[in-house]
């Protein structure tokens, strides 16, 4: 039985929480391990406005490079546009397909060789998920974009258009002042 990405992420979070609670309090009292060249801040993504399309939900995947997880339970095919305004991902009840000819294709987490199998080798659209949910590292949430607003356009085959909108915020990391 395969776990969905969301279930796997929840399971990993539970393991880390259990490990953290198992550490002796004396170890935790000494603070963080010192690291050379550690960043002074972290860039966090947040969703400020979900897309106004019934059945679509999105959550931010927190990591050093923020990602996004989109789930779509609508009746129409939903297309997520790439940074050039072309189709990047298509969500349907049968799963999610990615456009290999999209400029954002190389950045998809599933775009590594051998990770995606296609029944039609000539098609630019390949299946990346057997469920209508998919998470990826979108370049619009990239740390190289710095602080500011981002948007991911979506459209259904019935013509409904919307955007997932959000903000990238630079948050300082706590400093250890007791050396």
The pLDDT tens digits of the residues spanning 75-92 come to: 899 999 999 999 999 999
Residue 74 pLDDT > 80: yes
Check: CB of residue 95 under 8 Å from CB of residue 131.
yes
| 117/106 Cα distance (integer angstroms) | 15
The pLDDT tens digits of the residues spanning 99-122 come to: 999 989 887 755 555 544 444 455
Mean pLDDT (whole number) for 21-30: 48
What are the phi and psi torsion angles at 70 (to 5°)?
-115, 135
What are the phi and psi torsion angles at 21 (to 5°)?
-75, -20
First to last CA, the chain: 49
What are the C-alpha distances in Å from 8 to residues 21, 31, 97?
20, 29, 21
CA dihedral (99, 59, 53, 77) positive or negative: positive
Q: What angle do CA 101, 107, 108 make, to 5 degrees?
A: 80
Number of Cβ atoms within 10 Å of the Cβ of 159: 7
Which residue has better confidence, 122 or 168? 168
pLDDT score, position 111: 55
| 99/85 Cα distance (integer angstroms) | 12
If you ran DSSP here, which 8-state letter would residue 1 be given?
-
Mean pLDDT (whole number) for 5-11: 50
Would you mind telling me the total number of residues written for the chain in this entry? 179
pLDDT band for 172, please (50, 70, 90 cuts).
Answer: confident
Domain ranges of the chain: 50-172
């Amino acid at each position: 039985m395969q776990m969905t990405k969301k279930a796997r992420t929840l399971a990993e979070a539970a393991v880390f929480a259990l490990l953290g609670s198992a550490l002796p309090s004396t170890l935790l009292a000494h603070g963080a391990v010192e690291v050379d060249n550690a960043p002074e801040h972290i860039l966090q993504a947040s969703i400020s406005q979900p897309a106004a399309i019934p059945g679509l939900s999105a959550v931010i995947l927190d990591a050093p490079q923020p990602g996004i997880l989109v789930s779509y339970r609508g009746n129409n095919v939903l297309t997520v546009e790439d940074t050039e305004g072309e189709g990047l991902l298509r969500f349907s009840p049968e799963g999610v397909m990615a456009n290999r000819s999209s400029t954002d294709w190389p950045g998809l987490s599933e775009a590594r060789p051998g990770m995606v199998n296609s029944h039609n080798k000539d098609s630019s659209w390949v299946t990346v998920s057997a469920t209508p949910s998919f998470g990826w590292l979108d370049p619009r949430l990239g740390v190289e974009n710095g602080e500011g607003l981002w948007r991911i356009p979506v459209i259904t085959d019935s013509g409904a258009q919307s955007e997932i909108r959000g903000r990238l915020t630079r948050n300082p990391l706590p400093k250890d002042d007791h050396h």
